[in-house]
Structure 1
Amino acid sequence: MLSELLQGTDTGGFLVIQDSSSCTGRHLLKSFINAALNREENIHVLGFEVSEEELGEGLNTSAPQRLHFHNAYSDPLGWTDHLTFTVHQFCLDELTHLVKQTSQSKPATLVIDSLSWILRHQSPPAVCKTLQQLKRGGAVRAIIGLLHADMHQKGTVGSVCHLATSVITVAPGMKGDEAVAKITKRSKSGKVMQYEEIFSIKDDLTVIVQSKPSHLEHKQTDPEEQQMDPTAHLTFNLRLSDTERKAKEKLALPFVFSKEKKTALLHSGQGSGRILYEPDANDDYDQEDPDDDLDV
């Protein structure tokens, strides 16, 4: 699955590389940039965390006009008068103008290094809104963003990953040069697939998958929404065994009448009880005026 993602994300795709302090995902991010350059795509990089020189180490420099680095590293908050990209410019209008100003005829791929820097200075709803607009607006072909999961609350990470079509979570491997990629891919139909692969990255940023894909899960709902069984830790049993179920089916309910009981109730036979009333002399019952005893 990792090799397939490196071959190119679909139009309108949003890929999140999620890392932590124990395992960086920037090397994998650079591998995706290099793979896109090898496919002769136009790349726009919003660089907040490293300089252009550091990010460009190992990348394919045969066509530098296709790699556009927007310097948000020198002055990310706009405190000086230098013409650099700032975190406040992360909105649909500014990004669309930025990409179309330098882009070629084909839609470009937007790389964000990193989303964590933006989330620290803009509200998560505003960031998610901009990402959703970029996916639908057509200004960029695809979005690739690096996210440091241990810098944010779980809800913030979940909101960003919920927008993504693919999420790659990197973790340390057993060996020093290996890492584990836990991949969650969501198709357009809503189907969610999860894989786990062991990989390593060479000096030329080529990704080598060390083991075959391990298919973990295949389900229709969001992987973060796991339904808990409410009967898992009860002190009594709510389920019936086969013997108990058969006994329940044979049990005659008190409000359900059998055919024989219905016949006996509807058709009275000999010896059935009847109530006979004979008026007494003191009843003073008048046939012509039944209401004579009423004081009206």
Structure 2
Amino acid sequence: MLPELLQGTDAGGFLIIQDSVNYSGRHLLWSFINAALNREEAVHVLGFEVSEEELKDGLKGSHIQRLHFHDAYTDPLGWTDQPAFTVHQFCLEKLTHLIKQTSQHKPATLVIDSLSWILRHRCPPDVCKTLQQLKKGGAVRVIIGLLHADMHQRGIVGSVCHLASSVITVAPGMKGDEAVAKTTKRSKSGKVMQEEAIFCIKEDLTVVVQSKPSHLGSRQTDPEEQETDPTANLTFNLRLSDTERKAKEKLALPFVFSKEKKSALLHSGPGSGRILYEPDANDDYDQEDPDDDLDV
């Protein structure tokens, strides 16, 4: 699933690379930028955490002439007189104007490095609203954002990831150059697919998937994640032995009728009586008012 996402996400897609302090997802983000440039797509990068020089140095050998870097690293809060891009400009109108001003006629790929910086300085509902509008605005073909999950509350991370069509959660692997990617992809029909794989990133930013989750090896499980038996410390036994199970199966339940009892109840035998009532002529019975003879 990871190589398929690198080959190109469908129009209107929103991809989140979710990392933590244990493993940075920035190199995987650069791999997506490199793949988009190799497909001759225009890429716009909102750089809050990395300077333009560092980004282009990491993308050496790529077609960086189609890369448009919007500097939010130098002055992200607009404290100087002429800031290039600030966090307060993260809205549909500003971004649409910025992309159409410097991009080609076809929709571009928007890369946000990182969403965490914006979420720390903007109201999360406003950020989610802008992301939703960008998905449907037309100026942007694909949104790719880096999110540091351990910097935010779980509800904020869940709200942003709920908007995404694909979420890649990265974690360190068993070896130094390996990492684990847990990918969750949501199709337009609502179907959710999940996959876990070990990968490594080469110097040219190509991603190599080495194995599937069944080959993860003897990774130790967190004690909190281990399943516990809730019946382990009970003072009574909840399980039946073979002898007790056989006796239970032979036991006739009081509300279960046998064939003989059903037959006896449904078919009257000889000697059974019936009560027949035939109205007499003197019976004062009104069909419309059965209680007419009562003194009420």
Q: Is TM > 0.5 for Structure 1 vs Structure 2?
A: yes
Instruction: Check conservation: 2:37, 2:64, Cα contact below 8 A.
Output: no
* Counterpart residue type for residue 47 of structure 2: G
CA distance in 1: counterparts of 2:159 and 2:214, whole angstroms: 24
CA distance in 2: counterparts of 1:64 and 1:71, whole angstroms: 15
**Structure-1 residue corresponding to 2:67:** 67
Instruction: Check conservation: 2:170, 2:181, Cα contact below 8 A.
Output: yes
CA distance in 2: counterparts of 1:47 and 1:255, whole angstroms: 77
| Residue 212 of structure 1: how far off its partner (Å) | 3.1
Instruction: Check conservation: 1:43, 1:66, Cα contact below 8 A.
Output: yes
Farther-moved stretch of structure 1 (123-132 vs 250-259):
250-259
**Structure-2 residue corresponding to 1:114:** 114
Secondary structure of 1:22's aligned partner: coil
Give TM-score, length-normalised by structure 2. Answer: 0.75
Unmatched runs of 5 consecutive residues or more in structure 2: 216-228, 276-281, 283-294
**Structure-2 residue corresponding to 1:24:** 24
> Alpha carbons of 1:131 and 1:262: their partners in 2 closer, same or farther (altered >3 Å)?
same
Give TM-score, length-normalised by structure 1. Answer: 0.75
> Alpha carbons of 1:102 and 1:244: their partners in 2 closer, same or farther (altered >3 Å)?
farther
Percent sequence identity is: 69
Matching of residues 273-288 of structure 1 within 5 Å: none
Matching of residues 74-93 of structure 1 within 5 Å: 74-93=74-93
Residues 23-70 of structure 1: per-residue CA shift (max 9 Å, x gap): 111111111101111110000100011111111113256644411111
> Alpha carbons of 1:94 and 1:261: their partners in 2 closer, same or farther (altered >3 Å)?
same
Secondary structure of 1:193's aligned partner: strand
Q: Which contiguous aligned blocks of 4+ residues in structure 1 show a shift greater than 6 angstroms?
A: 234-238, 241-248, 254-257
CA distance in 2: counterparts of 1:273 and 1:39, whole angstroms: 91
The structure with more radius of gyration: 1
Secondary structure of 2:58's aligned partner: coil
| Residue 165 of structure 1: how far off its partner (Å) | 1.2
Secondary structure of 2:59's aligned partner: coil
Farther-moved stretch of structure 1 (147-156 vs 175-184):
175-184
**Structure-1 residue corresponding to 2:212:** 213
Secondary structure of 1:120's aligned partner: helix
Farther-moved stretch of structure 1 (36-45 vs 57-66):
57-66
**Structure-2 residue corresponding to 1:253:** 255
CA distance in 2: counterparts of 1:246 and 1:96, whole angstroms: 72
Instruction: Check conservation: 1:37, 1:60, Cα contact below 8 A.
Output: no
> What's the RMSD between the two structures over aligned residues?
3.6
Instruction: Check conservation: 1:11, 1:141, Cα contact below 8 A.
Output: yes
CA distance in 1: counterparts of 2:196 and 2:32, whole angstroms: 18
* Counterpart residue type for residue 98 of structure 1: L
**Structure-2 residue corresponding to 1:168:** 168
